A and B are shown apart, each in its own frame.
Chain A
């Protein structure tokens, strides 16, 4: 059960949009609409920003959006802000009530 595949790093300028991909298999990402995304600032605990592929928890900016196609889920951040600079992790249900995380993507706001 390998980690979900994410790009190691992405970058963008303030105001731009970026997309982070998360690729799994038909046994995880492709098999369930149970993909979540987490934002983690250095030294802090992760924060849930997307669940069930595209749902935003209360209080999370609508600049964050999620989608899925086949075995790949995506997180899009629009109107990039300096505070968005962080690590982002995807997570998917992997059957039998288990979960698998991605390796993480470091976002740099230029």
Chain B
């Protein structure tokens, strides 16, 4: 059973870059059977898909966040990361990393989430 855990700063200043890491256990992040991604939830609001990827494949991004988002993988640490540039207060949210098997088109493994506040 895959387990995911987000880490990173809980406070980011406006205009700076938000950087989060997801550490995966219970399976390799270089699995070609799984997609790995990021989803966020602003306070009191719904879920928003940020992007996901599969190992040695393409990375897919939300069209509204594409210009500011970068998702990358570090197989040596069994981790993947999210960088979101030029943040504003609208980027304040709980950020989740999540994954799904390509035979199950739904995110079936989630991290506990990390709350990130954008404020000076």
Contacts and interface: CB of A to CB of B under 8 A. Distances in A.
A30 interface: no
Interface stretch (B8-16, B25-33, B81-89, B105-113): B105-113
Interface residues of B, number: 23
Contacts of A46: 47, 96, 107, 110
Nearest to A47: B110
Contact of A93 (B39, B45, B64, B105): B105
B106 to A, nearest CB: 3
Given A48-B107, A48-B108, A51-B105, A104 B46 contact: yes
A89 interface: yes
B104 interface: yes
Interface string B27-50: 000000000000100000111110
Contacts, number: 66
Interface residues on A, range: 20 to 34
Nearest to B58: A97
Given A1-B64, A98-B49, A45 B105 contact: no
B106 A101 contact: no
A34 B107 contact: no
Interface in A79-95: 89, 91, 93
B49 A102 contact: no
B60 A45 contact: no
B60 A98 contact: yes
A91 B61 CA distance: 15
Interface string B50-72: 00100000101111100000000
Contact of B106 (A1, A57, A103): A57
17 contacts: A1-B62, A3-B46, A34-B105, A38-B47, A45-B111, A46-B96, A50-B106, A51-B108, A52-B105, A57-B106, A89-B46, A91-B47, A96-B60, A98-B61, A98-B63, A99-B52, A101-B49
